Structure 1
Amino acid sequence: MLGCLLGGFSALGRTEPGPNAVEKAAADVWPNGAACAVSLSYDDAVPVHHQRVAPLLEQHGLRGTFYLLVRAIDNVDAWKAVAAHGHELGNHSLFHPCRRDAGNAGWLAKHYDLADYTPGRWRDELAVANAFLALLDGGKPRTFGNTCTHLTIGRGAQEQPMDPILAELFVAARGNITHRLVDPAHPAFTRLGHYVGDGKTFAQLRQEIEAARAQGGWIIYMFHGVGAGTHNLYVDDEEHRQLIEWLDRERGSIWTAPVVEVARHLQAAGGRSAAQPQRSGR
């Protein structure tokens, strides 16, 4: 049944549908009768992730996705332990390049402007990051967390989507901030829409996940720091703790799993499918 839902995903420029358009998932879409899927992803290899976040998730039987910025990795052994405990080490690039024409000129070095990247340079950077991460986790399948959530490289007439490179190197990729659920019937695997978790209260996060549960979708969160002082973008430590405790209690109907695990589940059920992108994904 799910294979029929996932088949034929090739429309040009398909993006994730809005919350009201997410089809009610069939009872067998998610494992063990769960009503929805939740993926918690944490960006930039912030030390608090291996110091407090991963242990908190493990305490409650949950696992997350940590999108590692390779140049920011502070403790190789600590990240090896995170991987050994079942979390995903996702690729967040070597140097965190973004598009400076998208308002990042104040902090982004000119030589890390995605507008000046060629496909070959971008592929090489991601491949080297993958090779480094393989030294930490033994080469497990992984996903990519788009830097600044940008989806294109090059400028002007040379601007082009990075989807073909992402499809070659990764199981899936987290794309734009859409604040929309991923519809399990139409997952755009090279640009999975997601929600911002930074700055939100547990009540706000719970309300969004309750909507995912009601509609049968997949909700992906992007966090940076956890607790004041851990990153300029962060979720309050106590609000985050309440979220994890609640997800533990609700595990009977909410499947909380790393991005790679949910993506592979959908691909196994319906075959690998990738979005055919628009010219510009910004």
Structure 2
Amino acid sequence: MFLKRTFTFLLCLFSLSLQAQDWNKKQCAVVLTYDDALNVHLDKVIPALDALGLKGTFYLTASSAAFTKRLNEWKKVAANKHELANHTLYHPCDGSLPGRSFVSPEYNLATYSVRRLTDEIRMTNAVLQAIDGKQERTFAYPCGDTKINGVSFVDAIKGDFIAARGVKGEMVSKSNPDLYNIGSFMINGQSGEELIELVKKAMQTNSMLVFLFHGVGGEHNLNVSLEAHNQLLRFLKDNEKKIWVPTFVEATKYLKTSGAAK
């Protein structure tokens, strides 16, 4: 009886240990995403990632000058196994919502049709494929908007993407996550210590944490300092035995193959 109870106890401990290491055999996953195709991503972020052997996901707005004028550099980024992902052609947001005075009339999602939006999204996929040769792609909703005049367009784009990133600030569990609205933490002004605390929470809860960056050291109203960003990267590198740092497409494909995602 004693041996049986001891065996059962050890089996439980082993099972708990496996559960705590269930993100590609790591304690948690941290995904670094960067929106809007900014010059600072090429000039500052990618060199910082490359220096530590880390990979990022870049949600590119295909009309951005930092994309169209630097295509050869983005091609090199893709060749170095960073992810080039879809953030639409013109970054339309719903200008009818509160706080959206920055939305231009030409690219006001409230005046779009689903057909216009999907056409622009698919054109962006074609442009990105011309850059990196890939057909599997992920998407990020501009401004987190998933509806046009109250009607969801999510189902209309599911066939074009492996997964999509939303903007709800939440840790992602392996328990039945919605692949087409994966939560993320939008970063604006946090210190390096605050960014690291988010990672530690992901480690404690065995979750996936998706960072949503815009400006890094400038170039956007939503911004984090280079110092804070680099402090986060160093923490991730120093703890690489416990933290998996995949691209968004890698992370969501892992969720899909694990059978937990919907």
The TM-score normalised by the length of structure 2 is 0.88
Aligned partner of residue 184 in structure 2, secondary structure: strand
Match of 1:49 among 41, 45, 48: 41
1:59 counterpart residue number = 51
**Aligned-residue CA RMSD (Å):** 1.7
CA distance in 2, matches of 1:165, 1:59: 39
Offset of residue 113 of structure 1: 1.6
SS at match of 2:19: coil
Which string of whole-angstrom CA distances, capped at 9 and with x for unpartnered residues, describes residues 167-202 of structure 1?
Answer: 1111111113x2210111121111111101221111
2:76 to 78, 81, 87: 81
State the distance in 2 between where 1:222 and 1:163 align.
20
Summarize deviations over 1:50-80 as a string: whole Å, max 9, x none. Answer: 1221121121111010000111113000100
- Does residue 147 in structure 1 map to residue 142 in structure 2? yes
Gaps of 5+ in 2: 1-16
- 1:26 equivalent in structure 2: 19
Q: Deviations over 1:24-73 (max 9, x none)?
A: 98245211x21110111001100111122112112111101000011111
User: Computing the radius of gyration over CA atoms, which structure comes out larger, 1 or 2?
Assistant: 2
Which runs of structure 2 are paired with 1:175-190 in the superposition (5 Å)? 175-176=166-167, 178-190=168-180
1:54-203 equivalences under 5 Å are: 54-72=46-64, 73=67, 74-103=69-98, 105-153=100-148, 155=149, 159-176=150-167, 178-203=168-193
Please identify runs of 4+ aligned residues in structure 1 that moved more than 3 A: none
Q: Which residue of 1 aligns with 2:200?
A: 210
1:219 aligns with 2:209: yes
Question: Which residue of structure 1 lines up, in the alignment, with residue 11 of structure 2?
Answer: none
Native 8 Å contact 2:213 2:223 kept in 1: yes
CA distance in 2, matches of 1:96, 1:104: 16
Q: Report the CA distance between 1:120 and its aligned residue.
A: 1.4
Q: SS of 1:39's equivalent?
A: strand
Q: Distance in 1 between matches of 2:161 and 2:32?
A: 18
Sort the Cα spacing of 1:81 and 1:270 in 2 relative to 1 into closer, same or farther, 3 A.
Answer: same
How far residue 105 of structure 1 moved from its aligned partner, in angstroms, is: 4.6
2:37 is matched by which residue type in structure 1? A
Contact 1:25 1:217 in 2 (8 A): no
* More RCO (CA 8 Å, sep 6+): 1
Query: Is the contact between residue 32 and residue 210 of structure 2 (CA under 8 Å) also seen in structure 1?
Result: yes
